Structure 1
Amino acid sequence: MTVSANDEATAFGEAVAGLTRRHWGDATAAAGTGLEKLWHAAAAQGWFELGSAEALDAALAATMELGRVACPLPVLDGFVAGRLLPDASGIESGQMRVLVALDGTGDEVAYAEAATEATHVLVLPAAGGVAALREIAGVTEQPGLAVPAWARIRLGDPVATADLDAARADEAVLLLRLGLATRALAAAGRAHEMAIEHAKTRHQFGRPVGGFGAVQQRIASCQIDLSAGNLLIAQAVRQWTSHAADWSSWAEIAVEHARAAAPRIQLGAQHTLAAIGYFEEHEAPWLFRRVHADVTRLRAFPRAVGEFADVLVETEASLPSFDMGEAGEAFRTEVRELFAQYEDRFARSTMALDHELVQAVADRGWLGFAWPEEYGGRGATLAEQVVLNEETAYSGAPISKALGAVMLLGNSILKHGSPEQKEKFLPLIRRGELAFCLGYSEPEAGSDLASLKTRAVRDGADWVINGQKLWTTGGHTSDWVWLAVRTDPDAKPRQAGITVFLVPMDTPGITVQQHRALSGEISCTVFYDDVRVPDSARVGEVNGGWKVITDALAGERITMGNIAAALHRQLDDLLGVIRADIDGTVGPRGSARRAELGKVAVGVQATRALVSAAIDATGQGRGARLEAPMAGVLGGETAEAFGEAVLDILGPAAALEVIPAAPDAAFEYGLRLSVMYVVGGGTNDVQRGLIARGLGLPR
């Protein structure tokens, strides 16, 4: 087996964990005196050779393990010093124990970490210039939140210097920021792990506390924050390793996410641990100190180019992309070329269908192109399927309903349909001509679909259906309904007695009542009164409908990126408005509006990271048990936050259907639509419950 760089970094992290346990202990050791011994042992094991080796993956793997035990050993300081001063003897061996600080403080450095064990400080010019390695002439501890305590350092004479241009200096600062953010997130992650285990075993009121809804919701939210943060850090490392031009954007996004998320995760863990995590015999108080100390110290390393929001506003930058591989990116170019021919017909504030564009897409064989060749497909890759859906959502191309027919019906008919159903419906879907709606939700069965009550009773060669369905979007214009009904009321478990039918909407006994949603979309209540359908309308086995439904919903793994893609487009539209009048919209650096912009931009990218992870899990055949609901929850809530942020940033203009500065944007529509993202397909509260149970918490 070939060992990848990531495998090597993982192995290195495990070695770090073992050495740290031996010379430091767990997080409760933060108040002790083991740091100097660990520093020498770490140097002997080559931890401070990582900078000259450009091994950022290993350095951050080590930093994560140190964060988990609340240890402030400055591995990233050594990484930066080793890169900038490769000829300085003693750094790699540990004879010279180096911290890094920014210039502008004269002969003193405040708020220094691990200063009592250090011997030198590398003073960096943030905007470029001469970096100076200076001896430590004196140390005064500054007791407070951080343990071990921060210190004020008095600097001695320089012993080495290096000329840095602005780009190299900014890279060094960003590496230090990434190290602090990674350590804080890892410390919070350790507290979160302990909170999960505590919730499984701690009993109150006769049951594990992890069975209470409030605890599950909190733990799931923390897991989303933690998973997204780890994915963003991993992506930054990949970009560094491949020498990608946009690695700095990835790194700063990871920093910004961790800066906000790590304290939330830590506080969530403290709440779940309750009193047991409040006393210093437990690791949690020491992890609390580490998280907040590291997040606070990020302000000691400001970038000369400003925060991530400043970079977005003041340059032509957007969110960095996720590479879908050679085939996926080649297909992306092809899709964009087609959509460019029809872009004057696009409208991002409607879900209408453009039949001419649908026909053009169908003519190219893109509807059902992942199907086997015998059914009209060409075995398209997962990447190509994802790209088609992403580009559709980003551009607002009016073909989403045709794609939905492929994902939600076609793939399931391929698996469960009869030969006659495949022959009839698959060609319709490939041509984009199957107008359908979903008959799932009921008055007493929304997110809990297994409790549906609409009945189908066998009557000779037919079935007779009675019941009511709610929120049947597009039911008034559909030709067919994909209908889930109960065929065995006594089945255990409940989902065992469900069957799926594909029923013509003009069947006698079907009555449609229209309702206009907040988004302007028409959704329907549909009544089924003695609706008689032949057994040939049944899809799959009798009482086997749950498998048919779950296979249909599996297509959502491919379409789940649509929310993130639509938000990405809204962000780019917003940036276009802002750049045309920076002072009039977000104001100077450090303004609250810029901070709000940066927050939602990072939220969009975190959502994209979770979507990418869910797609990867699906492609590898692992499923996406946690990744998919996490992406859904974060996407919906980011959509809501984005809509509100646009109102705050642009003011009343953002509440108009069309604003002159961005006539194609759909800001106010996006805000109205955002509510659907947190209730459609299962509310976020229910999704968090699924995440919690995926983490092992009880029902």
Structure 2
Amino acid sequence: MAEVDDFRDAVAGVLDGLWPAAVDVATGDATKVAEAAVQQGWLQLGPEGAADYLVAAVRTLGRRACPLPLADAYVASRLLPDHADAIGAGEVRPVVVLGAGPLIVDDAATSSHVLVVDTLTGALTLREIDGAEPLDGLARPAWRRLTPGAVVAERTVAPAAVAEAVAVLRLGVAARAVAAAGRAHELAVEHAKVRRQFGRVIGAFGAVQQRVAAGQIDLSASEALVDEAVGALLAGRDDAPLAAALAARHARTAAQRVLAGAQHTLGAVGFFEEHDAAWLFRRVHTDLTHLGSGGLDDRRDDGVAGRLLAGEALPHFHLGARAEAFRDEVRALLDRHRSGDGYDVEALRQEMDEQSLLALNWPAEHGGRAVEVEEQVVLHEEMKYAGGPVDRAMSATMLIGHSLLRHGTPEQKAQFLPLLHAGQMAFCLGYSEPEAGSDLASLRTRAVRDDDGDGWVIDGQKLWTTRGQTASHVWLAVRTDPDATPRHAGITIFLVPMDTPGITVQQHVALSGEISCTVFYDGVRVPDSARVGEVHGGWKVITDALTAERVVMGGVAATLRRHFDETLALLRARVAAGGEVDALDRDRIAWVAARLQAARALVLRATRSMDGSGSGSAADARIAGPMAAVLSGDLAEELGRTCLDVLGPEAALAGRYDAAIRVAPMYVIGGGTNDIQRGIIARGLGLPRE
């Protein structure tokens, strides 16, 4: 990875002297850039299969709105190995055209040859370019209509070679468009930090923060999908073409949204050609035409919807040999305890206790099992994909187990850790209140020392306490210092038996059908031994508990993937029976598939950032979790709507789809609403508090 970063920096260094910024589209000499590409070896990446280096270079070009056809050279040198040396030396400068359409190319007027690829038969024809007519329009540099000349080479290649070529071309365009949109986004963020209106920097306005955060999520998601597709190509995986198609489909919408958000934040500043944004606008929209209908689209059924409806599955995220071996272990465990359409939950729980699967990374003295972060992700993915047969046990160990290990007393550990290890801890969270939902620091439920100073008296009210009616204990956040500054400094955590006198539970039925509770605390007396962590130190305890939610989010994505896979199965059956999935529904399926894959990628980045193993800066690590949470929540609602629309009225009947769409709003509301999470993301990017 470091070598690729060094290569990217070298490309940027060359461009600094030839094409420093997007605004240089107006005066830049693409021929000199092409000459530098030859001298620096950028056209020699194809024979090496160095897709990661190619994408690094293309991204750097995209940030400067320079459409040098590097991906075309890469593809041509792989399809025509006899001409690879000539391509690398710049003697043959190819641009690739798929199919038999008009020879209109986006090559910055640098090509000497055109390679026509018949994507149906694999027939290749390399021809000289006899002439070219510049075409006025959106693109800068202008597109050209080529007049082909003499045939230089002809051959036929296998379908796998064509699929790889299309995948690389898709990735090249997607990476360039996303990079160009990303550069506009960076400029908009910096502008929002200094531009003042109504006496304040505009980055302090809520609307701007929400827009900037949404752009960052789309940008990060697209970048993650491109990276995953590059990894699939480098590994020679069979699902690499689908991974590239998913990245391209996501970029087609996301790059446009990122760019639009940047333009809106920049305002009039970015509307004039003195600013890079105007030229990045042209570049992004020009690239997106290549990814839409008539470009690198679904016309051969090799795009996202075509491949999925034909039976392919969403590409698997390979998390390393150890994690994948663990995945096999978990799947075998689930298979052993299948019972009809479900599971023998008690037998499954007992075996998980025996294998310490509910005590991952606990200390050995508490029966822990040492694993990597990726293995934790695997466990939650597989259990959630299976329908969550031990949901409560897994939630308990993730949300309070790790905090007890860090902050619990020896007596608390002795009492509760064995229950958590065995999956027998029936707890509920006492966080939300009438005036403290996402803003947990505003909670008002109070605990004061009793008269003898050995215990506490708790008074207040908690809302939306899921499973409060069946819990043995509540993990309760209360205010112990009403005058603390900042507000979160005066919070303390208690682990309180739910049968303590003074606790009253009132049940409510949620939209999802789940029981949630309002819990009243009236003069509830608890000993000091029920306190977890320091007095007024509850925020640290809460933070440690919430950190584990990054792993739990992997389970959310797995739940959505199961719904998506079941939808695909029904649509495949419809097609097999002679029915159709129309173009609109196919595109919607492709979009939610790309969003689902992006959510999985961001969750993985977020979990890896927990132990510092993720890539990116410290700022990236801070916002990785909120970005994954927002995307997963939004996707839950979008996937539910899509399933209803493409499957028709039967999907609204009682069953999985009915339940899925009714529970979806909770993914947006629970654990801090998406609006609040986007505010956190905006501040992570350096914008001030509203």
Partner of 2:629: 632
Question: How far apart are the structure 2 equivalents of 1:210 and 1:131?
Answer: 52
SS at match of 1:523: strand
Give the counterpart letter for 1:655 in structure 2: A
SS at match of 2:687: coil
Question: How far apart are the structure 2 equivalents of 1:425 and 1:608?
Answer: 32
Q: Quote how far apart the aligned CAs of 1:404 are.
A: 1.0
Q: Quote how far apart the aligned CAs of 1:507 are.
A: 0.6
Percent identity (aligned): 53
C-alpha contact (below 8 Å) 1:189/1:265 kept by paired residues: yes
Q: Quote how far apart the aligned CAs of 1:334 are.
A: 1.8
SS at match of 1:148: coil
Partner of 2:658: 668
SS at match of 1:527: strand
Greater alpha carbon shift after TM alignment, 39-48 vs 268-277: 39-48
Partner of 2:332: 337
Unaligned runs of 5+ in 1: 1-5, 659-665
Q: Quote how far apart the aligned CAs of 1:560 are.
A: 1.1
Q: 1:697 to 1:115 in 2, by over 3 A?
A: closer
SS at match of 1:91: helix
Partner of 1:449: 440
Q: Quote how far apart the aligned CAs of 1:515 are.
A: 0.6
Question: How far apart are the structure 1 equivalents of 2:242 and 2:401?
Answer: 39
Partner of 2:288: 295
Q: Quote how far apart the aligned CAs of 1:672 are.
A: 0.6
Deviation track 1:549-602 (CA, whole Å, cap 9, x = no partner) reads 1111111121111110001111111111111112779825x6111111111111
Q: 2:413 aligns with which of 402, 422, 425?
A: 422
Is it true that 1:80 corresponds to 2:63 in the alignment? no
Q: Quote how far apart the aligned CAs of 1:396 are.
A: 0.8
Is it true that 1:158 corresponds to 2:154 in the alignment? no
Deviation track 1:203-235 (CA, whole Å, cap 9, x = no partner) reads 111111011111111110110111111111111
Deviation track 1:1-56 (CA, whole Å, cap 9, x = no partner) reads xxxxx222211111111111211221111122511111112111111111122211
Q: 1:281 to 1:522 in 2, by over 3 A?
A: same
Question: How far apart are the structure 2 equivalents of 1:388 and 1:153?
Answer: 55
SS at match of 2:469: coil
Is it true that 1:95 corresponds to 2:91 in the alignment? yes
Is it true that 1:395 corresponds to 2:391 in the alignment? no
TM-score using structure 1 length: 0.94
Partner of 2:486: 493
Is it true that 1:473 corresponds to 2:466 in the alignment? yes
Partner of 1:518: 511
Question: How far apart are the structure 2 equivalents of 1:302 and 1:535?
Answer: 65
C-alpha contact (below 8 Å) 1:249/1:308 kept by paired residues: yes
Q: 2:546 aligns with which of 514, 528, 553?
A: 553
C-alpha contact (below 8 Å) 2:18/2:28 kept by paired residues: no
Question: How far apart are the structure 1 equivalents of 2:43 and 2:429?
Answer: 59
Question: How far apart are the structure 1 equivalents of 2:547 and 2:586?
Answer: 38
Q: 1:409 to 1:180 in 2, by over 3 A?
A: same
SS at match of 1:625: helix
Deviation track 1:351-406 (CA, whole Å, cap 9, x = no partner) reads xx944432332233222132111011132332332222111100014201001111
Greater alpha carbon shift after TM alignment, 512-521 vs 319-328: 319-328
Is it true that 1:258 corresponds to 2:251 in the alignment? yes
Greater alpha carbon shift after TM alignment, 427-436 vs 163-172: 163-172
Partner of 1:592: 584
Is it true that 1:24 corresponds to 2:19 in the alignment? yes
Question: How far apart are the structure 2 equivalents of 1:56 and 1:181?
Answer: 13
Question: How far apart are the structure 2 equivalents of 1:618 and 1:11?
Answer: 26
Q: Quote how far apart the aligned CAs of 1:247 are.
A: 1.5
Question: How far apart are the structure 1 equivalents of 2:448 and 2:379?
Answer: 41
Q: 1:139 to 1:492 in 2, by over 3 A?
A: same
Question: How far apart are the structure 1 equivalents of 2:494 and 2:657?
Answer: 38
Deviation track 1:435-478 (CA, whole Å, cap 9, x = no partner) reads 11000010000000011011100012110000110011111111
Give the counterpart letter for 1:196 in structure 2: V
Question: How far apart are the structure 1 equivalents of 2:396 and 2:574?
Answer: 42
Partner of 1:612: 604
Q: 2:264 aligns with which of 267, 271, 276?
A: 271
C-alpha contact (below 8 Å) 1:146/1:293 kept by paired residues: yes
Aligned ranges 1:210-289 → 2 under 5 Å:
210-289=203-282
C-alpha contact (below 8 Å) 1:369/1:376 kept by paired residues: no
Partner of 1:109: 103
C-alpha contact (below 8 Å) 1:371/1:380 kept by paired residues: no
Question: How far apart are the structure 1 equivalents of 2:128 and 2:521?
Answer: 83
Deviation track 1:142-195 (CA, whole Å, cap 9, x = no partner) reads 110001111111111111223212221222122112111110000000000000
Partner of 2:318: 323
Partner of 1:684: 674
Question: How far apart are the structure 1 equivalents of 2:164 and 2:579?
Answer: 26
Question: How far apart are the structure 1 equivalents of 2:542 and 2:613?
Answer: 19
SS at match of 1:488: coil
Partner of 1:663: none
Question: How far apart are the structure 2 equivalents of 1:175 and 1:200?
Answer: 37
Question: How far apart are the structure 1 equivalents of 2:545 and 2:214?
Answer: 27
Q: 1:451 to 1:302 in 2, by over 3 A?
A: closer
Partner of 1:646: 643
Deviation track 1:617-642 (CA, whole Å, cap 9, x = no partner) reads 11326784111111100001101000
Q: Quote how far apart the aligned CAs of 1:326 are.
A: 2.3
SS at match of 2:87: coil
Unaligned runs of 5+ in 2: none
Question: How far apart are the structure 1 equivalents of 2:81 and 2:273?
Answer: 41
Deviation track 1:502-523 (CA, whole Å, cap 9, x = no partner) reads 0011111111111110111111
Q: 1:372 aligns with which of 363, 377, 380?
A: 363
Give the counterpart letter for 1:575 in structure 2: L
What number of residue pairs does the alignment pair up? 678
Question: How far apart are the structure 1 equivalents of 2:129 and 2:322?
Answer: 55
Question: How far apart are the structure 2 equivalents of 1:450 and 1:612?
Answer: 28
SS at match of 1:626: helix
Give the counterpart letter for 2:610 in structure 1: T
C-alpha contact (below 8 Å) 2:193/2:686 kept by paired residues: yes
SS at match of 1:101: strand
Question: How far apart are the structure 2 equivalents of 1:236 and 1:586?
Answer: 32
Greater alpha carbon shift after TM alignment, 609-618 vs 117-126: 117-126
Q: Quote how far apart the aligned CAs of 1:86 are.
A: 2.6
Deviation track 1:293-324 (CA, whole Å, cap 9, x = no partner) reads 01102333346343211100012x11111123
Greater alpha carbon shift after TM alignment, 680-689 vs 359-368: 359-368
